[in-house]
Structure 1
Amino acid sequence: MKNLRTLAVCVCISLMSLSSFAQSNNGQPPLNEPDYNRPRLFNNLPEKVPFNVNNVSSLFNASIGAAVDLGLSETVPFIMNGEVIATTYTDKVQKLVIRSSNYAGANMTIIKITNDDGSVKYRGRILSFKHGDFYELQKSTEGYVLVKKSFYDLINE
């Protein structure tokens, strides 16, 4: 009798699970498909832009709300207009965030890292979540370079 009761419970649970709607999603996983057709914000700029660190270093002492008119490169006409929206200071790390007014929706984040030996390293991005491209600051043999990348190289949905 115990086996019959166990069998009946298993059949009832199986029938309830088949008729439930909890697992119905037309057989597709609940993921967002990447929109590779997002508009490009930096179409008129090259893939690599030499970055002048000296132009940015003075902005780490700027106050929040300060207006910014920043030439990012000496060789490419890449101007970032906007305002400082955040600054953070610790012993070895300084962070600067600028909201752009001439590149809609874009924020530039630059981080200055001072190592124990006194050397300085910069990291950063110019990114808009509404567009399909962004720039990432990278160290090269000639100095720092802004490298254009696809939004989905950074974000996986």
Structure 2
Amino acid sequence: MNYHKPTGIRLIYAICLFASLSLKAQDSKTKAPLREPDYNKSKIFNSLPASIEVSDLDLQTLVAPGTRKSQEISLPLASGKLSPFTGKVAYAFSNERMRTVTVQSTSFNGAVLTLSSVPKSDGTVRYTGRIFSYQHGDAFELQQKGDHYYWIKKNLYEMMAE
């Protein structure tokens, strides 16, 4: 038996093949580009120590329910021994489960402070936060050690992943 395929069928196969290849090429173009780490970025926090103590009261004041967008803030560092972190509130959110504030710095060009507080079942409050700048290679992460909170200096890429 001779199974001869008409020319029209071959043309349809060719069109389908071409269409599928062009769709695949478009998919590869629409993928989001990765931000490759640049380990040679300048450091914005060179003048600050590797660990800076911050009081619970200062953190509590920063995430207080009265904190509003565009409000000027000043966060004392090392009990006032270092220049404070100053800035303008860019975002403030508060509900019964969490409070969060984001501050664009006026004291460290390009830096952003994010701080959240979460009440625990025992009545205490847990704080998490970071100070960083995408244009620079160093950052701070808020860590609790015992009953005290500290801003700990880190490499920006230790804290962030694609």
TM class by smaller structure: 0.7 to 0.9
Aligned to 2:160: 155
- Deviation of residue 142 (structure 1)? 4.9
What do residues 75-126 of structure 1 show as CA deviations (whole Å, max 9, x unaligned)?
6404111111111112121111111011011111111110122111111011
Corresponding residue of 1:80? 85
Partner of 1:47: 50
Paired letter, 1:74: S
Query: Percent identity over the alignment?
Result: 31
3-state SS in 2 of match to 1:74: helix
| Structure 2 counterpart of 1:120, one-letter code | V
Question: What is aligned with 1:119?
Answer: 124
Equivalent in the alignment of 1:11: none
CA displacement at 1:55 relative to structure 2: 1.7
Count of residues in correspondence between the two structures: 146
Show structure 1 runs of 5+ residues with no match: 2-15, 17-21, 23-29
Root-mean-square deviation (CA), in Å? 3.1
Q: State how far apart, in whole Å, the 2-side matches of 1:64 and 1:138 are.
A: 26
Q: Which residue of 1 aligns with 2:39?
A: 36
**1:156 to partner: Cα distance:** 3.0
The answer on 1:136 being equivalent to 2:133 is: no
Q: 1:101 is matched with which residue?
A: 106
Counterpart secondary structure, 1:42: coil
The one-letter amino acid of 1:131's match is H
TM-aligned CA distance change 1:91 to 1:32, over 3 Å: closer
* Partner residue in 1 for 2:76: 71
Please report how far the alpha carbon of residue 155 of structure 1 lies from its aligned counterpart in structure 2 after TM superposition. 2.2
* Structure-1 separation of matches of 2:161 and 2:90: 26
Alignment correspondent of 1:10: none
How far did residue 33 of structure 1 move? 3.6
Deviates more, 1:85-94 or 1:53-62: 53-62
The amino acid of 1:57's aligned partner reads Q
- Given that residues 92 and 115 in structure 1 are in contact (C-alpha distance below 8 angstroms), is that contact kept between their aligned partners in structure 2? no
Task: Work out the CA distance in 1 between the residues paired with 2:94 and 2:67.
Answer: 12
Partner deviation per Cα, 1:6-28 (whole Å, 9 max, x = no partner): xxxxxxxxxx9xxxxx6xxxxxx
Q: What is the SS of the residue equivalent to 1:69? A: strand
Write the distance in 2 (CA, Å) between the matches of 1:138 and 1:74: 16
Report the TM-score, using the length of structure 1 for normalisation.
0.76
